[in-house]
Amino acid sequence: MIERRLSVLVAGLIVFLVFAMLWNGFVRPSHRSARIESAAPSSTLVTIIPDSATARRDTTARQAGQSPPPPTAAPAPADPGTSYMVLLARSETRRRIRASAGYTYLNEVVAESGDSMLHRWDNRIFTPVRVFLGPGTAANFQTSFLDAVREAFERWQQAGVPVRFRLDADSVSAEVHFAWKVQFEMKRTGQTDLTWDQDGHLVNGVVTLATFDPGGRPLAADDVRVVALHEIGHLIGLDHSSDSADVMFANTKVRDLSPRDIASALLLYQLSPGTLR
Q: Which stretch binds Zn ion (CB under 5 A): 46-54, 136-144, 218-226, 256-264?
A: 46-54
Shortest Å, Cβ 232 to Zn ion:
11
Show the site string, 97-136: x = touches Zn ion by CB under 5 A, - = not: ----------------------------------------
Shortest Å, Cβ 172 to Zn ion:
28
AA identity, residue 86: V
Shortest Å, Cβ 250 to Zn ion:
5
In 70-201, which ranges are E strands? 117-118, 124-132, 163-166, 176-181, 190-196
Q: Is 176 in the site for Zn ion (CB under 5 A)?
A: no
Residue of closest CB approach to Zn ion: 45
Q: Is 45 in the site for Zn ion (CB under 5 A)?
A: yes
Shortest Å, Cβ 174 to Zn ion:
21
Shortest Å, Cβ 238 to Zn ion:
9
Angle at 249 between CA 248 and CA 252, to 5 degrees: 95
Angle at 267 between CA 245 and CA 195, to 5 degrees: 90
Q: Is 226 in the site for Zn ion (CB under 5 A)?
A: no
Q: Which stretch binds Zn ion (CB under 5 A): 45-53, 92-100, 112-120, 172-180?
A: 45-53
Q: Is 46 in the site for Zn ion (CB under 5 A)?
A: yes
Burial class (CB in 10 A: 0-12, 13-18, 19+), 100: buried
- In angstroms, the first-to-last Cα distance of the chain is 56
Shortest Å, Cβ 230 to Zn ion:
6
How many distinct helices (H) and strands (E) make up the chain?
Answer: 6, 7
Show the site string, 4-43: x = touches Zn ion by CB under 5 A, - = not: ----------------------------------------
Q: Report the Cα 109 to chain-centroid distance in Å.
A: 12
- Spatial separation of the C-alpha atoms in residues 235 and 215, rounded to whole Å: 26
Q: Is 152 in the site for Zn ion (CB under 5 A)?
A: no
Q: Which is nearer to Zn ion, 59 or 144 (CB)?
A: 59
Q: 32, 122 in Cβ contact below 8 A? A: yes
Burial class (CB in 10 A: 0-12, 13-18, 19+), 32: exposed
Shortest Å, Cβ 58 to Zn ion:
6
Q: What is the DSSP letter of 104?
A: B
Q: Which is nearer to Zn ion, 45 or 169 (CB)?
A: 45
For Zn ion, the binding residues (CB under 5 A) are 45-46
